[in-house]
Structure 1
Amino acid sequence: MPRYSEERKQAILSKLQPPSNMSVAEVSRSEGIGLQTLYNWRNEARQQGHPMPGHNKTPDDWTSETKLATVIETAALSESELSEYC
Structure 2
Amino acid sequence: MPDHPGRFEDGLFDKRTTRADIMYASVIERDESLDSLAEHCIAARDIIEASGTSVMRQLIDLLLFEIGVAMAKATETERQAIRSN
> Above 0.5 in TM-score?
no
Is the radius of gyration larger for structure 1 or structure 2?
A: 2
**Structure holding more helix per residue:** 2
TM-score of the two chains, using structure 1 as the length reference: 0.32
TM-score of the two chains, using structure 2 as the length reference: 0.33
